[in-house]
A and B are shown apart, each in its own frame.
Chain A
Amino acid sequence: MRSPEKGARAHRAGAVPYLFLAPAMALFALFMALPIGYTIYLSLRRTKVSGLGLGKGARTEVFAGLANYAAAVGDGELWAGWLRVLGYGALVLVLMLGLALVFALMLDAAHVRLARLTRISIFLPYAVPGVAATLMWGFLYLPSLSPFGEHPFLSAGLVTFSMANVAVWGGTGFNMLVLYTNLRAVPREYYEAARIDGASELDIALRIKIPILVPSIILTTVFSVIATVQVFTEPTTLRPLTNTISSTWSPLMKVYRDAFVTGDLYSAAATSMVIAGISLVLSFGFLRIVKNRAFGEG
């Protein structure tokens, strides 16, 4: 009598986790797997035009094999775009995360006044939408309108720095907050003990706070790497203002151009898969390298 009841209960318990998972899985399938699948499908096809290409039936969609991928990988402009983004990303990562760390440590130091106000004012730029922020900086960069005088902020040599500046301005506050929140969770006794041992504020920062922050720093770095690989808003918004940003300045801009300007959805799909692959390699590669530091120690 007892055993079947027990069996039924076990059976029920086996189904329940899946039931709880179902909404998430359904959403994942609908909004992630399906679009990705469709993108892969598109990336394997191309338009075939016959004759003048006018009128009905002159344009058909055919299977293209890996031709779009070959074209994407073989396109020098795409790799030139990666190089530009690499330079831009290095600037943004170092400046933004460096500033975020310095600000977080300073705010966390013992006797800072107006900490809350400072924190909000550093975080505030993050609340400004990217397009608005870039437009605002764009006005500041335009020589004849700029209150900084006639400097060539948008010239070929400086435009990368000018763009990085917008990203740093907008992103520092968010990253600072992540690090700062982590710092506030550290028991104050650690610092007290260190002070009793004769450590200065600088020693505490370097030897206690930063090591504790390592997992958070890794997290913000991964976020930032993914974001810089996807840089799109800043160059696209600044492009109409200057001659120095091409329509394929960053890899994502090339995808946008292929899909919506020159109307080749298939190439755009293939290129976006290549970009997705590279961002995966970059972010997981980074995680792998720092794995022990991040998750090995506690």
Chain B
Amino acid sequence: MSNAQIVSHVPSAAVPLANRVWQRHTPIQKLLRFIVWFTIVLAVVQSVRHIEIIPEFLYDAPEQMQDMLGRMWPVDWEHYQSDVHAALVETLHIATLGTLLSIFLAIPFGLLVASNLTRNKGLNLFARVVLVASRSINSLVWALLFLAVFGPGAIAGTLAIAFRSIGFVGKMVGETIEQMPRGPIEALQAAGASKFSEIWYGYWPQLKPAFLSILLLRWDINVRESAVLGLVGAGGVGMALDTALNLFQWPRVATVLVSIFAIVVITEIVVTQIRKRVL
């Protein structure tokens, strides 16, 4: 809002300077802003009225949380070696393989969605719909779909991570391509390069640093995401969490949670280090 323009909607030449009315927004802008605010208020009021929140539960929440955390303490470290460790490694494999797989799946759509590379409105729209669909189906839901196809286990999880990542990676690749300087590409076109050479020698070298950064970012997200896939049976550390939760073994739950927390922190450190060295 700080950059909203100062608009005078009286023709400047017609009115003497002293009589000119300065306003921050035109009437239409004001009206649109009012509509947006009104809609927000309406949505909130509507939600508060209809959602079923039992007040007793809300008042009780801090106490219940305290009770739950109390039961989790102390963390049961003996449990880690016996079955958290293997599951944690599986989670990392799922996240990494899923990210690698998403490269092959996402790049074609990234190329198709960029309107300066693919000059076909229909193809742009098609790629955009695929990318949005991939992002709007959550990784857990993707996992459910692949469970129905491949059965329980890590294969469903890996594909879920890969398919969920298509939307993110493809969108970022498309945006990067759209913002590229045209010089090198025009030079290639002037030299009569084929479409493939154009992409390989013109777009790819410009895309590469951004692409690495996108993949690192997505890998970081995927490590977090793959930790929950086990809740629906798609492999990884989530399965250990699910078992412990169903058995109400709170110290074991705490072990799994602390392990997930640790792996997330380690991932973040690794990503920061790679980013520093390579980019």
Q: Are A and B interaction partners?
A: no
Interfacial residues, chain B to chain A (CB-CB below 8 A): none
